[in-house]
Amino acid sequence: SSRSQAAGRIFIVARELTMVPIDGRATKADEIHRHIKSSISVAPPQSRRLPWVVLWGIVVLTAIGVALANYCILWASYFINHARHKALQLAIDAAGPVAGMAESVLVFACLGGAAACLVAFVAPVCAGGGLPELKSFLNGGSTEGAFSPRAFVVRIVSVVLATTAGFPIGREGPTITMAGNIGYGVVHLLAVPHMRRWINMDASAEGFLPAMIVD
């Protein structure tokens, strides 16, 4: 079958690559090594010291982004709470305290349900404060989707909805996670172009194509 033929070819190539020169004669491995050496030029490794402009840009833009995100959260929370209190007063004036209490319960349920639906159906990674995901990322763990733009937006909106719904939570943990989101995006925007190492391969050589490695 084709699978067995491919396995046989791989075995033959591996055997040829591991051959040891006999009586000073060049083997297939030596020929391949000389061919690769002549057709590849590797740029010297670049230093990981980023320019001071990039470092200060990361610090300043991250701080500005966190400040703007917190301002948006506070403004949205104030607007929702102001509208909720106004509606509560209108309900009490129109039908008494019992109607005001029922209106408050209904509003709280709608706000909390909207926050839960956002997290459950749009960005499940936003469940919780986000600090375990940050610690996992810093220790080399897998945090797929934790730093995506969708998770960032859902975290902001859900924090506003959950706090205005009266849940016994704060915005300190999510704020730290949002700062991590902003810093992650700023670093990718400013620092990644300075962390590239190019490998130029001769495209005319048989079996080789130009390639780039991002370190």
Computed over every residue of the chain, the mean pLDDT equals 76
| Full strand arrangement of the beta sheet holding 196-201 | 40-42, 196-201, 211-214
Tell whether the model's pLDDT for residue 173 goes beyond 50.
Answer: yes
Tell whether the model's pLDDT for residue 127 goes beyond 70.
Answer: yes
What is the average pLDDT across 167-185? 86
| 196 or 50: which leads in pLDDT | 50
161 close to 110: Cβ distance less than 8 angstroms: no
pLDDT at 198: 44
pTM above 0.75, yes or no: no
pLDDT at 13: 42
What is the average pLDDT across 55-60? 92
Torsion of the alpha carbons at 68, 55, 171 and 135, rounded to the nearest 10: 150
